[in-house]
Structure 1
Amino acid sequence: MKIVIADDHAIVRSGFSMILNFQEDMEVIAMAADGIEAYQMVAKHQPDVLLLDLSMPPGESGLVATGKIKEDFPETKILILTMHDDEEYLFHVLKNGASGYMLKSAPDEELLQAIRVIYSGGTYIHPKMATSLVRELVNKDHKVKESDPFELLSKREIEVLPLVAKGYGNKEIAQKLFISVKTVEAHKAKIMEKLQLKSRPELVEYVLKKKLLNF
């Protein structure tokens, strides 16, 4: 199987590459340092599996890249690799099309197992996180959960949100995302409306609470 590795740490990419290339049924064909490069490598090589780090500051995160890559290259299976054992991240990436979610602290054997599972069409979730997922599904059967307004945001709005929180101006955000200033203003207005926020301090507080600042 052809594999692309996306992680912002070169030593992590090299380590994973050595482990995978040692396997008879795996070959690492490209590597990337952030979500944008990951998209480019997937577009160029059409891999069977993409190992995607969730957080890759200051570049585009796996949280944002997952939806874009899955939408344009549905045949590529995405395995999220992360240090975050946070169920909100788990739910979001699975909703965006990821086939697996595992912690970087897991042993090598689990990584290999996860890759083979998702390559064959299955879904792999780290046991610790699977418990949270099952609990969430069970809870949905017993009570109606209040919807999270974050789920209403578009992929582009998810990109704009942390940049606004970091204090970037409209022009700077437009340059970073290759869109017009008017488009940025429109996205900001939609974000404030969807999240029911009235000021930038409230927005910053929301981003910090959701642990989205690095994204």
Structure 2
Amino acid sequence: MIRVIVVDDQTLVRQGIRSLLDLTDDIEVVGEADDGMAALAAIEEHAPDVVLLDLRMPRHDGIWVLRALRERADDSPPVLVLTTFDNDTLVLDAMRAGACGYLLKDVTLERLTRAIRVLADGGTLISPSITDRLLRAVRRRRPADDDLPAIQRLTEREVEVLRLVAEGYSNREIAQALFLAEGTVKNHVSTMLLKLGARDRTNAVLRALHANILD
């Protein structure tokens, strides 16, 4: 079972998501929280595999939660941002703070469960539409001076893998798409992160967006 915590300040939203996920055989909601402080406490108590996180909440919001998790140990669970706020700056801030995926609340159950499974499997979920929004937001900010040289150190295969990472593919899906062993893909991802000096897959995608290789 994939253990999930739902963080949202609206009770009906939390209950709705729980009811929908109860329809699945492999996903279980093990906890809920209505603000950032409660979210950290619930994560500590339940050790979920994935956190569904709203961004706009009273007191401590979703960005605060992401930054707090980033400062913790490396075993912090992956976070899927689930929000009604379709805002370029929020998307970018959430990704910079460590979110592994971003969906709007009008998403279908099928797409939501797929996203949860991708994150639980170690992947990211950045759909093409969200990638476009990130690209526009990144271009409005000054890129890091060392992004381009880092990108240029990537091999052609590593760039292929990075493009699929940006589209939300898990290692298993990348292996299937490129006809590679999953272990080979893991090696490519590790080398890619090392070359880019990226702390995780999302940060690697942001660096690629800076260098305009995901157009």
Among the aligned pairs, what percent are the same residue?
A: 34
1:71 and 2:71 matched? yes
Alignment of 1:96-107 (within 5 A): 96-107=97-108
1:120 corresponds to: 121
Q: Given the two structures, how large is their TM-score scaled by the length of structure 2?
A: 0.60
Q: Which amino acid aligns with 2:101?
A: G
Mapped partners of 1:5, 1:70: distance in 2: 18
1:9 and 2:10 matched? yes
TM-superposition CA deviations, 1:175-208 (whole Å, max 9, x none): xxxxxxxxxxxxxxxxxxxxxxxxxxxxxxxxxx
Mapped partners of 1:78, 1:146: distance in 2: 25
Count how many residue pairs are aligned between Structure 1 and Structure 2: 142
Alignment of 1:48-197 (within 5 A): 48-57=49-58, 59-75=59-75, 76-135=77-136, 139=139, 145=142
Offset at residue 87 of structure 1 (A): 1.5
Unaligned segments of structure 1, at least 5 residues: 148-215
Mapped partners of 1:103, 1:6: distance in 2: 14
Q: Given the two structures, how large is their TM-score scaled by the length of structure 1?
A: 0.60
Q: Which amino acid aligns with 1:3?
A: V
8 Å Cα contact 2:92-2:137 kept in structure 1 = no
TM-superposition CA deviations, 1:118-177 (whole Å, max 9, x none): 11111112443221224456x59xxx8278xxxxxxxxxxxxxxxxxxxxxxxxxxxxxx
Offset at residue 104 of structure 1 (A): 0.7
Mapped partners of 1:126, 1:14: distance in 2: 26
Mapped partners of 1:99, 1:55: distance in 2: 17
8 Å Cα contact 1:54-1:80 kept in structure 2 = yes
Mapped partners of 2:40, 2:73: distance in 1: 9
Mapped partners of 1:123, 1:135: distance in 2: 20
Q: Which amino acid aligns with 2:33?
A: A
8 Å Cα contact 2:81-2:101 kept in structure 1 = yes
Offset at residue 74 of structure 1 (A): 3.5
SS in 2 for 1:72: coil
Mapped partners of 1:127, 1:15: distance in 2: 27
Offset at residue 92 of structure 1 (A): 1.2
Offset at residue 73 of structure 1 (A): 4.8
8 Å Cα contact 1:77-1:98 kept in structure 2 = yes
1:38 corresponds to: 39
